[in-house]
Amino acid sequence: MSVTAESRVNAAELIEEVLKAYPEKSAKRRAKHLTVQEEGKSDCDVKSNIKSLPGVMTIRGCAYAGSKGVVWGPIKDMIHISHGPVGCGQYSWASRRNYYIGTTGIDSYGTMQFTSDFQEKDIVFGGDKKLEKIIDEIDVLFPLNKGISIQSECPIGLIGDDIEAVAKKKAKQYEGKTIVPVRCEGFRGVSQSLGHHIANDTIRDFVFDKTDPTKNAFVGTPYDVAIIGDYNIGGDAWSSRILLEEMGLRVIAQWSGDGSIAELENTPKAKLNILHCYRSMNYISRHMEEKYGIPWVEYNFFGPSKIEESLRKIASFFDDSIKEKTEQVILKYQALTNAVIAKYKPRLQGKKVMLFVGGLRPRHVIGAYEDLGMEVVGTGYEFGHNDDYQRTTHYVKDGTLIYDDVTGYEFEKFVEAIQPDLVGSGVKEKYVFQKMGVPFRQMHSWDYSGPYHGYDGFAIFARDMDMAINNPVWALTKTPWKKAA
Amino acid sequence: MSQNAEKVLDHFKLFREPEYKEMFARKKEEFEYAVPAEALQHTIEWTKTEDYKEKNFAREALTVNPAKACQPLGAVFAANGFEGTLPFVHGSQGCVAYYRSHFSRHFKEPTSCVSSSMTEDAAVFGGLNNMIDGLANAYSLYKPKMIAVSTTCMAEVIGDDLNAFIKTSREKGSIPNEFDVPFAHTPAFVGSHITGYDNALLGVVKYFWDGKAGMAPALERKPNKSVNFIGGFDGYVVGNNREIRRIFNEFGIKYTMLCDPSDAWDTPTDGEFRMYDGGTTLEDTANAIHAKATIVMQTISTEKTAAFIESKGQEVVRLHHPVGVAGTDHLLMELSRITGKEIPESLTKERGRLVDAIADSSAHIHGKKFALYGDPDTMLGLTAFLLELGAEPVTVLSTNGDNDWAAKVQALFDASPFGTNCKVYPKKDLWHLRSLLFTEPVDFLIGNTFGKYLDRDTNTPLIRIGFPIFDRHHKHRYPVWGYQGGLNVLVTILDKIFDTMDADTNGIGTTDYSFDIIR
């Protein structure tokens, strides 16, 4: 369905209407985050990465969520201490579905909750002594751990604790053990995003800069690549890795889904960094480019069109043998892709989707929907920056509604007015829209399904979108005796 | 390639295919520099020993896999129980995203709550402007009847004064002068989610009874015959509150349920999103001061609120999450005593039915050993019920239960022959429990969703009773209180016992002589 000038006007009117509910000052500020995409704009023309308004029900999280929850948490053979009161670690405990292979509690710790469980006395007298003791106790009870990260919660920065000094002292005491102090207190920055950046910087400072390059015996090949910015949600990194290996590449590291500290340490030996979630890991990619001369390339493994394009883009960095194998890979999966599209496209053709997700998906998944004949009519980033919106323009069609850091109120009103066939967002939004009778898929956790990356993932993606939209329950939401209403 | 369009393989089966298994092995071998298999096995075995348990219990600083959350979660629960009320948490915004997700994962329902989104500048200058703008925005957008304010640890550490901030916000016109904004300080570094529930509920009750933070004269109590009911922080609130209502109605008692989120967390899918639904009306909240008495269903979850209510001259009946026959008997007899009404025949008959069910099934529960963990009141109720069933609650553990709580559990053990070999563990976490399940094995484990890791590690079947339950659906819709609730708990336990029995006897030609069709 093409977007007409009329519908663009309607969308602009809708934004205006929704803004009326705010106090004047807030309406002015929110207006800068909402727009209708017009061809030719270089960055969707919205403000982003600025403070959320108080009291509006932002969907955003915090820097701790960005560091512990996203970047560091999946490194499986390290212990990540949620340093501060008990809650942050409790609510984020195993909820992101970063799959890994390992013996939990023995050599892997991904689905565990280590906390310093701050009490009032720790706030009053400081928590550094407790932190030292915690590191000692970890050494006794979890002797196979390969390192520790200290994920700061809000109070740490406010009470003046010196976690860097504790980390340094303990690293020395335990003979060069990797102990990483992370200043990801939740009040820093405006969203998860600063937490990603801070976490990236600590990998630079406490993993790259402190690791003896000869620590891990490593024989490189010309085909060594690292997957950067794939958190292996529901196994995404695995269904990506398998394609890269089939292309003839050697994946020496996964950042950070199913990742290990050794993989982080060895990444500077890669020939190419391939970057999926630009938002959360562009920082370390740029650093490796500057310091180690490793080029990086962004890719998109959602849906066959983008996968094919991305595979070729990655292959272009390598010799003809890789390029040939890449064509073979594309060919190999064509039958599967065709069968998936033949099965699901007739059921999904023309369906409209509205998205609101995190770092890369508000643009990255659009191609996968389009492969199934669907259309994304609204999208926005929870914690995107201007460079994300720049990267979005060539994904979205003219007339698409763009909403940055959408509030609960706006999202509800937008969906109510546009009546899409599917909304893709998070667990906090899921039930709001389902109550309204609108099919929904969680697009952070894949609604407990996945993987969605790669060709194997695309089949699952298509099945899941179909089961959401074509669920017979949506025919039951209205009573037979009140159907007119 | 194993994937196919006809039978799509997702993570459950896809990664068991050979191409993936080989890939995992290569990754481990070449890039992870993994722990050698022998060291791994050695450590696995060591964590099962007395030696490990001793070291594990010697922990003084580290907490691993706790069974508790922080105060503001409880505050949001309490706020959600009042008519048209928007919970407002003053502090960092990430916390609110967490509370909302946590509740949505348990109830499979939306949870509305706003934050004042404090950032670094607020850390330096205080969060007054965040409160002023936050209340104005929340009021305009979400049109609540009341906004209930609580705090994250950030606001507490920098010492923001809610009372003064809300006053200033009124002066600045953020909200109308007469608009109700009760508040409570809920520092995450004190107590747990149940403490936050207590503080927030006290905040609401105190606000209405003691003169709306200086905006109205304090209410004077004029005793009537009504009874208040306070459920406490309760993951089964949807089923429980409806069951309790039914019991009150059977009696014909006039009652006020103080804090009732049972409708807010159980709205229909009919095309309309209800941000607010049901809940205790503000009028009833104020009038609750006149009640004859208040039933406090979870005393440890409601300590301060109970003391405040008592200070107004009401009788407070303090219970500990009663489950089962004797627990419900006690509840009903107290209701009868307070109101002078006889226990209705209908409930007496229900009692008989629960006793009947226990008699029918007790052979399968009698003497079975259980480990259980959870909130302190819940543990008291479940321990009493297990003893009533002739089971042995060998290990009773709570992260947010203190020594006073432990003494109460011990008293239950002491009063029953089935409690002889049982032990209570206050202020311990699920990593402690892991050791105990190895050194003092039991037949079944009772706890929340996180217990599934213990089930996996120690091969102790988990019976899911507690909060949160993320990985089973709709359990919160069924009561665990009242005789009907007791029956639900009994059946939940029995189902797992029978499933385990069947799984243990289905060896073809080896153990399936016991694979009985009648049990």
Is B141–A77 a contact, with Cβ atoms under 8 angstroms apart? Answer: no
- Which residue of B lies nearest to A192 if distances are taken between CA atoms? B94
Is B157–A155 a contact, with Cβ atoms under 8 angstroms apart? Answer: yes
Q: What's the Cα-to-Cα distance from A409 to each of B118, B142, B179, rounded to whole Å?
A: 20, 7, 21
Is A119–B189 a contact, with Cβ atoms under 8 angstroms apart? Answer: yes
Q: Which H or E run includes B246?
A: helix B237-251
Is A187–B92 a contact, with Cβ atoms under 8 angstroms apart? Answer: yes
Share of chain A above pLDDT 90, in %: 93
Is A451–B267 a contact, with Cβ atoms under 8 angstroms apart? Answer: no
Listed residue (B117, B186, B174) closest to B144, CA to CA = B174
Helix boundaries (H) for B50-126: 50-57, 71-79, 93-107, 120-125
Name chain A contacts of B5, Cβ cutoff 8 Å: 336, 339-340, 342-344, 459
Q: Smallest CA–CA separation between B130 and chain A, in Å?
A: 6
Please give the backbone phi and psi of residue A21, each rounded to the nearest 5 degrees, phi first. -70, -20
Q: pLDDT confidence of A6, banded at 50, 70, 90?
A: low
| pLDDT for the residue numbered A392 | 95
B448 touches chain A (CB under 8 A): no
Residues 6+ apart with CB under 8 A from B411: none
How many angstroms separate the CA atoms of A424 and A444, rounded? Answer: 9
Name chain A contacts of B434, Cβ cutoff 8 Å: 105
Contact (CB, 8 A) for A60 and A382? yes
Active site residues of A: 62, 65, 96, 196
Does the N-terminal peptide bond of residue B311 adopt cis geometry, omega within 30 degrees of 0?
A: no
How many angstroms separate the CA atoms of A382 and A357, rounded? Answer: 6
Task: Provide the whole-model pTM.
Answer: 0.98
Which one of B60, B113, B271 has the shortest CB-CB distance to A437?
Answer: B271
Is A85–B188 a contact, with Cβ atoms under 8 angstroms apart? Answer: yes
ipTM reported for the complex surpasses 0.85: yes
Interface of B with A in 13-42 (CB under 8 A): 14-15, 19-20, 23-24, 27-28, 31-35, 39-40
Which one of A53, A107, A159 has the shortest CB-CB distance to B34?
Answer: A107
* Single-letter amino acid, residue B70: C
Interface of B with A in 93-152 (CB under 8 A): 93-95, 97-102, 104-105, 108-120, 122-123, 130-131, 133-142, 152
> For residue B418, what is the DSSP state?
G
* Residues facing B444 on adjacent strands: B370
Determine the straight-line distance between the first and last CA of chain B, rounded to whole angstroms.
Answer: 45
Name chain A contacts of B134, Cβ cutoff 8 Å: 53-55
| DSSP one-letter string for A31-49 | HTTEEE--TT-SSTT---S
| pLDDT for the residue numbered B1 | 81
How many angstroms separate the CA atoms of A232 and A243, rounded? Answer: 14
- Which residue of A lies nearest to B191 if distances are taken between CA atoms? A119
Name chain A contacts of B125, Cβ cutoff 8 Å: none
Among A435, A453, A478, the residue to mutate for chain B (most B Cβ within 10 A): A435
Which one of A114, A241, A431 has the shortest CB-CB distance to B108?
Answer: A431
Which one of B10, B66, B152 has the shortest CB-CB distance to A154?
Answer: B152
- The pLDDT profile of chain B, 519 residues, written as one tens digit per residue, is 899 999 999 999 999 999 999 999 999 999 999 999 999 999 999 999 999 999 999 999 999 999 999 999 999 999 999 999 999 999 999 999 999 999 999 999 999 999 999 999 999 999 999 999 999 999 999 999 999 999 999 999 999 999 999 999 999 999 999 999 999 999 999 999 999 999 999 999 999 999 999 999 999 999 999 999 999 999 999 999 999 999 999 999 999 999 999 999 999 999 999 999 999 999 999 999 999 999 999 999 999 999 999 999 999 999 999 999 999 999 999 999 999 999 999 999 999 999 999 999 999 999 999 999 999 999 999 999 999 999 999 999 999 999 999 999 999 999 999 999 999 999 999 999 999 999 999 999 999 999 999 999 999 999 999 999 999 999 999 999 999 999 999 999 999 999 999 999 999 999 999 999 999
pLDDT higher than threshold 70 for residue A484: no
pLDDT higher than threshold 50 for residue A1: no
Contact (CB, 8 A) for A453 and A230? yes
- Which residue of A lies nearest to B141 if distances are taken between CA atoms? A21
Share of chain A above pLDDT 70, in %: 98
Q: Smallest CA–CA separation between B114 and chain A, in Å?
A: 5
How many angstroms separate the CA atoms of A423 and A211, rounded? Answer: 45
Q: Smallest CA–CA separation between B168 and chain A, in Å?
A: 16
Is A432–B273 a contact, with Cβ atoms under 8 angstroms apart? Answer: yes
Name chain A contacts of B105, Cβ cutoff 8 Å: 95, 427
Is A91–B98 a contact, with Cβ atoms under 8 angstroms apart? Answer: yes
* Single-letter amino acid, residue B259: C
